[in-house]
Structure formats: structure tokens, C-alpha cells
Amino acid sequence: MKYAAPTTVDDARSLLADNPGSRVFAGATDLVPQFRGGRPSPPLLVDLKHIDRLMSLTHEDGQWTVGAALPTSQLTGNAGFTAAFPGLAEAAGLIGSDQIQNRSSLGGNLANASPAADSVPALLVNGAQAVVATADGTRTVPARDIATGPGQTSLAEGEFIIEFTLADPPAGTGEAYLRMIPRSEMDIAIVGAAVRLTVDGAAVTDARVVLGAVAPTAVSVPDAEAALTGAALTDGGLDDATLAAIADAASTVCNPIDDKRGTIAYRRQVAGVLAKRAAAIAAERARNGA
């Protein structure tokens, strides 16, 4: 296995075209364990961290641009970013240890396509767009279209994510991510729930709910979004009927696996609880930010 560290997107594209079967990487926090587990190693590893565009974080004209290979510690350490996207920052800050967060990236978390990827539900509720390097240019697709199943993506051979764009959340928007793990730290989610709400006065005007770790990919919960849209928001937060509807909708949309970390029944129940709690936090943040 050879290593290459291109400094431009064009050079990376050429290396990938000239070396079929190559893999791109940023932190290799998922790649190294895969190789250790016996996954065949590619002929060439293309390190994306020397391409400035993939390592930058900018905020211009109402839009954040996050380099796909930027270590997540640099996102969670950016006060402006964490203020704009508290749920996404929370999710990124839950992935592994400090050691891991100095390597892990949003691009890697999405392209690795683990159903349990913590940052993905939070990326999706924010409507992130992925700018993808293709064989001869770039294409921009919703981040939700990247992962298609466990370990599977819509990226063609030789394609890689350059960056994500996230529009500034509208005024009165709050966002939260919660996950359940069997231990208190350093574990993989058995359920993740991201909620983003926008409020105007005393009512919710926009709602997005995405669950992780309970289906082959992160899943939206349209029935919960419908229950939230138009819901009244008072000093007491969302009313009990709305919260119950969110929980029911989240539990229903789940299509989880049974494994050593959690049973299907447990994951379904916890998905409802976390969706409800994340919605309550998002509502509180939306009111404070309104």
C-alpha cells in the first residue's frame, strides 16, 4: 500500500483516476480498524489533509463551508460554529476521545456510512449540502443522499467529498443532538436523535427530525416533523400531546438491528424518548435565540 498526499483537488482526482481501487482518507480512524480487521488494503491511500480546501472552515455571505477532512476538534473549538450549530457541535464532540477528535472529520463520518455516525443526523437536520469532486469536476448534492446503506455510499469510484455547505440557521432556530450509548463515554450510539426547530412568536414554523443508528442509514421522521410544525410553544415548552406524537412517530419509523448493544424493542423505545427530549432542548434553544 502506497501513500500520497496531494495538495490540490485536481491532483487528488488524477491520483484516484490513475490508481483504481485507491482509498481517500482524512483521519483513518475508521480505516485503520478496518485494515486491522482484515479488510483488504487498497493499492494507494490518498491523504486529503494537505488540500487547503478540505481543511478550511469559513463563514461568508450567510453560509458556513466546512472542509470535509477538517478535524472535528477544530469545529467544536470554533465559538462561531458551535453557536450557529449547537446540535452538530454536540454530535461531533461525542465521537470518540480527544485523540480521535483531532483526526475525525465530518467527511469521514459521512462517507464511512456507519448507520450510527453521530454527526450525520445533525448534519442532515441542518440541510447540509456536500460538494463532491467527480472525475471531471464537482457536483453538489444534499448530504442526505451520500450514505445509501451500512458502509455503502452514492459516491462513484474516484469521487470524494470536498466540503459541506450549511446556510446560517434562520432567526429563532434551535437545534440539539442526543444519543444513547450503553456506557457513559467512548461508545457507539444505539440511538441518535437530532432535532432542529424554527419558531416564530409562539409557534413552530419549521421542524426537522433525523434519527441515527436505528436503520441502515440516518432516517427522517416526517410524522414528527408534521406534529411539530405549527405546534404551540409556551414558557412551559412544547405541550405533552406534541411530545407524545414525536415519540410515537420516532419509534414507528425505526428499523433497527438487534445486537449486543441493544435489542430492537429497546432501540425503538429509546428513539422515541430521545426524539422527544431533543425536541424539548431544540425548542428551548429556539426560544432563547428568537
Partner 1 sequence: MSRTHVTCTVNGDEVDFLAADDTSLLDALREELGLTGAKEGCGTGDCGACSILLDGRLNCSCLVFAPEAEGRDIVTVEGLADGDHLHPLQQAFLEGAALQCGVCTPGFLVAAKALLDENPDPTETEIRYGLAGNLCRCTGYDKIVRAVQEAAVQLNGAGK
**Binding positions for partner 1, rule: CB under 8 A:** 1-3, 5, 27-29, 32-33, 36, 41, 45, 47, 49, 71, 73, 96-100, 102-103, 185-186
| Shortest Å distance, C-beta 40 to partner 1 | 12
Q: Which is nearer to partner 1, 42 or 172 (CB)?
A: 42
| Shortest Å distance, C-beta 79 to partner 1 | 15
Helix axes 264-289, 86-93, angle to 10 degrees: 140
Radius of gyration of the chain (CA): 19
Give counts: helices (H), strands (E), the chain.
11, 16
Q: Which is nearer to partner 1, 29 or 198 (CB)?
A: 29
| Shortest Å distance, C-beta 282 to partner 1 | 24
Question: Is 196 within 8 Å of 173 (Cβ atoms)?
Answer: yes
Q: Which is nearer to partner 1, 102 or 205 (CB)?
A: 102
| Shortest Å distance, C-beta 148 to partner 1 | 26
Question: Is 63 within 8 Å of 167 (Cβ atoms)?
Answer: yes
Q: Which is nearer to partner 1, 103 or 276 (CB)?
A: 103
Q: Which is nearer to partner 1, 71 or 87 (CB)?
A: 71
Q: What grid cell was written down for 51?
A: 488540500
Question: Is 171 within 8 Å of 289 (Cβ atoms)?
Answer: yes
Distances (CA, A) of 204 to 18, 124, 170, 172, 246: 51, 19, 12, 9, 14
Q: Which is nearer to partner 1, 117 or 247 (CB)?
A: 117
| Shortest Å distance, C-beta 28 to partner 1 | 5
The end-to-end CA distance of the chain, in Å, is 53
- Residue 275, SS3 per DSSP: helix
| Shortest Å distance, C-beta 20 to partner 1 | 18
